[in-house]
Amino acid sequence: MYNVIGNLIVLWREAWLKPLYDSDIGSDFCNFCKRRFNELDFVTSCEFCEIGIIHTTCSDKHILNSHKKEILNKIESQRDRRLHDYQ
C-alpha cells in the first residue's frame, strides 16, 4: 500500500480488551461481513467512519480498502510528530 523503496510500514493498532454486551453493540451482526458474532469474538469499530461494530479481522480489510487516504495522512502526521520530538 505505502511503498517507499526499502521501507516497510506496518500499522500498530493499540488494542485492549473491553467486554461489550448485546445491548452495547446493538446488533448480533458484523456490519462489514454481515455474519453473526460468535459467543466470544474480537470486535472493534472503525476510527475513520461510523460503520459500527465489526470483527477485528474485518476492520483490517475495511480500513485498507476504504480509508487508504486517511492511513497515509496518519502516517505522515506521525512522521511529523516524531521529527518534532527530537527538536
Residue among 44 and 58 whose Cβ is closer to Zn ion? 58
Site for Zn ion, residues 11 to 70, rule: CB under 5 A: 30, 32-33, 46, 48-49, 51, 55, 58
- C-beta of 7 vs 49, nearer to Zn ion: 49
Q: Which lies closer to Zn ion via its Cβ, residue 33 or residue 72?
A: 33
Query: What type of residue sits at position 8?
Result: L
Residue 65 phi, psi (nearest 5): -80, -40
Q: Which residues of the shown chain bind Zn ion in the complex (CB under 5 A)? A: 30, 32-33, 46, 48-49, 51, 55, 58
